Structure 1
């Protein structure tokens, strides 16, 4: 009878990420933006092109797992995590984000804005809470907050971080009951959280970010 075993190995890995505009003396805000499933960072980051290039510097990490989209195998998408080996993959992704932050060496006098869109919400929130990242704003766009995170994980954000949840009114992935349940849970965890909507669907609407700064 054959015996199947799974084993773990560690190795060094290399991954890309994208930036928009320049980090300079005039930069006021540094954005770290996590894309949703199916995106590549170089395309997702274009959604922030409307931000003032003198005042805003945008960093878009790239999800490591890539795959072909559609039946013609021409377009490439990516994914952060799946239900397979989630705990291990999560630690790999968080270590990758840490490497980006170390490489960028962001000055402490800049406003730090962390944004997660769709699947990227899970990475943005896990990175911020696990590293106790002191950010000025934390934005959740069209995505769910990880179930394993509790009030003790987000308590350090209170009174120092503006937390905003943004959802499209026509988002097909959320119904009213789910939205209300999620709001109730988030209010229990983060009482100061703000809820916003836009008239679109499951998308990052640039206009909904206009008054964040």
Structure 2
């Protein structure tokens, strides 16, 4: 007996969350990618301290949901795993394309892309593959995928995108070796365009840091 893996394509439906209203008074549009174990409806609450009349937030939802802590009570989600990463990445990117098509976003607003933890890998892959000309790219406590190169982000230099990496000084997922490698990757990809901010804290989202990003 032999087994053979086969592929099939099908239509899938997924949700996403928005916060505030997109109006003529809106100045900033945020696309925010949550981390492992989050749901978008909880993650988006970290952005409710931003002035609502000036900020419109879109939080895509990772497609793979699972029960947290083996208690079958609280649900989280994952963007990707090491299994079929390339194929699953394309599925995620097509989902984000559908979100953007649904939103019909105007081009005269400041576009801010933020990824937290695992969301950094999605944010950077999306920006690189779709050549998203954003005013800010915020990499919050997450790793940049190894396959990305400086060539993938040359267009951001021309666009004068502000790139900010936020890292907690007590982040339990970043030892000295990992931190050094991520710093080297940041410099290699973005050079002087990137700014690193070390804050007091662990692997956590801090609303005050987010609120200060658009001052």
Structure 2 contact 47–211 (Cα < 8 Å) conserved: no
Q: Which residue of 2 aligns with 1:101?
A: 100
Structure 2 contact 68–74 (Cα < 8 Å) conserved: yes
Calculate the TM-score normalised by the size of structure 2: 0.96
Structure 2 contact 36–79 (Cα < 8 Å) conserved: yes
Structure 2 contact 47–210 (Cα < 8 Å) conserved: no
Q: CA deviation at 1:70?
A: 2.1
Q: CA deviation at 1:180?
A: 2.0
For residues 22-57 of structure 1, the C-alpha deviation after alignment (integer angstroms, 9 at most, x for no partner) is: 111110000000000000000000010100000000
Q: Which moved more, 1:64-73 or 1:8-17?
A: 64-73
Q: Which residue of 1 aligns with 2:207?
A: 206
Q: Which residue of 2 aligns with 1:184?
A: 184
Q: CA deviation at 1:173?
A: 0.4
Q: Which residue of 2 aligns with 1:42?
A: 41
Q: Which moved more, 1:125-134 or 1:66-75?
A: 66-75
Structure 2: state its 5+ residue gaps. Answer: none
Tell me the secondary structure at the aligned position of residue 66 of structure 1.
Answer: strand
Corresponding position: 1:30 with 2:29:
yes
Q: CA deviation at 1:212?
A: 2.0
Q: CA deviation at 1:204?
A: 1.5
Calculate the TM-score normalised by the size of structure 1: 0.97
1:118-197 matched pairs, under 5 angstroms: 118-159=117-158, 160-191=160-191, 192-197=193-198
Q: Which residue of 2 aligns with 1:72?
A: 71
Q: CA deviation at 1:172?
A: 0.5
> What do you get for the CA RMSD once the two structures are aligned?
0.9
Structure 2 contact 141–167 (Cα < 8 Å) conserved: yes
How many Å separate the matches in 2 of 1:209 and 1:61?
18
